[in-house]
Amino acid sequence: MSLDESDDVFEPRILSGLNNLGNTCYFNSGLQLLASATPFVSALTQVASTVVRGDDETGARHAGLHPFHSPSRAALLKSAVETLDDMQSGGQSSLAPTSLLRLFSKLNPQFEGMHQQDCPEMITSMLSQLEDEVKTEVYTTEVLKELSSSSPAASSSQRYMSVLGLVDEVHRANAEEEVEAQHKKGKLEYTAADYHPPRWVRSSVTDCFRGAALHTISCSKCSYTSRTVDEFTSLSLEIPSPHQRRAYVSRHPNVIRYDAEGNPLNDQSTRKSSGGYRWWNPVKYIAGVCTFVYSCIVGDDGLPYPLTLEECLDIHFDEEKLHGANKYRCPKCEQLVEATKRHSLLWCPEVLMIHLKRFEVGAYWTSKRHDPIIFPAGHASTKWSRPLDLKAFETTSLAGGPSPAYELTGVVNHHGSFGGGHYTAFAHKGAALGWVLCNDASVKRADAEVVVDSQEYLLMYRKQRPASNDENMSERSMAQLARKYLSNKPPVTSPNNEVMVQRSWLHRVATFVEPGPLLNRLCYCGGAKPALHYHGTVASAYQKVACSDYEQLSALYGGPPLDQMLSTQSVQQTLVDEVQWLRRQK
């Protein structure tokens, strides 16, 4: 089975419209955006059969021991799979997502009724509910122990292990600092074991959206640096004001900016006066209004280049000086001091969602920013065919290897104002179909140039493989191999020459550019002995893989040595022990 032949399973092309049930364009557009994230759709289908069920005796026992199981969330996940499957089947031009919306609103009461809602908020809430049903929380120390002897060839896996090492280092340092802080308060019994750092979340459904960011604050007086790590499923970017844009350029005079056609501007052209070089804005050309009216409606900031997504990212990740009324209380100096705040990307997700925060809420006012923003598409059919490059925003110490480049796969538009409006979505359906416009029940072909000149509110990008090289060819071969094992007719293996590999990781290899090393245990809870809990059945979590194939996979991506892998016999014994254990808990 080639990559192309498995497209229906791993790269589904969903082309069905969604009926508006009464101000539900936000829901329809959000669902269409998620439907164009094919790693998410195929993962959702893969895990549907392994979700804890409470409708039989065994399922009822499992449900009581699963740390995150909720019957309502399980029903939502099942309905999401059914809705996406109906959308993909092509039996009808549009359908009504009534059941999915009802179950979603039940878990998120703020979306009940027929009121206008925020699409990015809906997507965040949907992913959170689906994630919670199938997630596990991982102690990085436990993972690093298992991978200590692994030496993957893939640069992405090497970087992933470096990220885990840095996260563990940050957690240990924060534990020591918390012990010191508690002792200063007189709580001498407090130890590092009492500190509970944030756990690394794993969820086969939402892992494609998951990235990680490193936040640091450095004291200007004693040079102490505080570090924290946060995971994210989307980046929220403020739309910079003219003052912020000018201030950034004054601090970084050599920064490259682009004209309306995506061509880089040299230093001289960007420094020309506004009278000598006007920056591009489609509203001005479409409206055909005079300069005075245009300035009143849109605002003429005098900058000789258009606002781009790269500029929004530059300003978002620019270091911030904490001074004046915004000084930092240093835990070492124990006083308010000037400091520098920075944040950077530790790990870039496979599917990157960028929320452009167009709505502003003040004490006595609300408004929407209508600034046009030029964003890279990564498709040759558009004038902005450059991919989105995030290398400049990566954590410097971990920025080795190929730069993560992204291609645009979806856009959610908001038409209107803060008080009322309408959502639509653009989705890219592969080279053969190109772009489509999803407007509730209507789905029709769209020109790429219309997409990049849209009223963007939410952008979705997918990570692309680097230029062809030996490593890239090996990764494509391994993706094809993983898809074979996850198919309805996997390769036949011999009981004496096979190991059990987690299906969720095989899915990452099949659909991710950077799947990372194999974490093959069901539980990495670690720490103090956890309460009795249950993560899922061994039988449904693993796939039999020939030893020779596993050695190829682990050599490239990393994983436990072959002699430490689960054999068929050990899994069968684990399954027997599991059933007996569950009976004792009844």
H helix or E strand, kind and range, residue 243: helix 242-251
Q: Diameter of the chain by CA atoms?
A: 81
Phi, psi of 340 (to 5 degrees): -120, 125
Detail the DSSP E strand segments found in 494-581. 498-502, 542-546, 566-567
User: How many other C-beta atoms are found inside a 10 Å radius of the C-beta of residue 576?
Assistant: 11
Say yes or no: 57 and 160 in one domain: no
Model confidence at 266: pLDDT above 70? no
Same domain, 120 and 177: no
Summarised one tens digit per residue, pLDDT across range 88-119 is 876 678 999 999 999 999 999 999 988 889 99
Q: From 315, 311, 472, 455, select the one nearest 388 (Cα to Cα).
A: 311
Q: Are residues 125 and 163 in the same domain?
A: no
Q: How confident is the model at residue 581 (pLDDT cuts 50, 70, 90)?
A: low
Pairing of strands 235-238, 351-357: parallel
- Do 503 and 586 fall within a single domain? yes
Q: With H, G, I as helix, E, B as strand and everything else as coil, classify residue 368.
A: strand
Q: Which residues of 483-510 are buried (b: 16+ CB within 10 A; e: fewer)?
A: bbbbeeeeeebeeeebbbbbbbbbbbbb
Considering 260, 278, 306, which residue would you say is the last residue of a domain? 306
Q: Are residues 584 and 499 in the same domain?
A: yes
Q: Are 41 and 123 part of one and the same domain? A: yes
Confidence of residue 580 (pLDDT cuts 50, 70, 90): low
Same domain, 504 and 585: yes
Q: CA-CA-CA-CA torsion for 61, 64, 66, 68, nearest 10 degrees?
A: 150
Average of pLDDT values for 140-148?
83
Asked if residue 213 belongs to a domain, the reply is: no
* Final residue belonging to a domain, choices 275, 306, 337: 306
* Structural domains of the chain, count: 3
Position 196 pLDDT exceeds 90: no
Helices 309-317 and 242-251 pack at an angle, to 10 degrees, of 70
Residues 470-474, mean pLDDT to the nearest whole number: 76
Using one digit for the tens of pLDDT, what is the confidence trace for 166-175?
999 999 999 9
Q: What is the mean pLDDT of residues 482-497?
A: 89
Same domain assignment for residues 480 and 577: yes
**How high is the pLDDT of residue 54?**
43
Q: Are residues 87 and 189 in the same domain?
A: no
Are both 89 and 38 inside the same structural domain?
yes
C-alpha span between 571 and 544 (Å, rounded): 10
Q: What are the Cα distances from residue 408, in Å, to 213, 392, 497, 553?
A: 22, 19, 43, 29
With a cut of 70, say whether residue 463 has pLDDT above it: yes
Residues 481 and 581 in one domain: yes
Q: What pLDDT is recorded for position 71?
A: 84
Nearest alpha carbon to residue 351 among 471, 211, 546, 212: 211
* 248 is a domain residue: yes
DSSP 562: G
Which residues contact residue 230 at a Cβ distance below 8 angstroms, ignoring those fewer than 6 apart?
198, 212, 213, 215
- Give the strand pairing for 542-546 and 498-502: antiparallel
CATH at residue 40: 3.90.70.10
DSSP state of 467: S
566-567 vs 498-502, strand pairing mode: antiparallel
Summary mean pLDDT of the chain: 82
Host domain of residue 5 = 1-135
In a domain, 170, yes or no: yes
How is 254-320 classified by DSSP, letter by letter?
T--EE-TTSPEEPHHHHTS-TTTSPPP-HHHHHH---HHHHHHHT-----SS--BHHHHHHHHHS-E
Domain boundary residue, one of 88, 118, 135 = 135
Burial class (CB in 10 A: 0-12, 13-18, 19+), 362: exposed
The residues, ordered by sequence, that sit 6+ positions from 400 with a Cβ below 8 Å of its Cβ are 155, 159
- List the structure tokens of 421: 């409006």
Task: Check whether residue 157 and residue 88 sit in a common domain.
Answer: no
> How does residue 557 score in pLDDT terms, banded at 50, 70 and 90?
very high
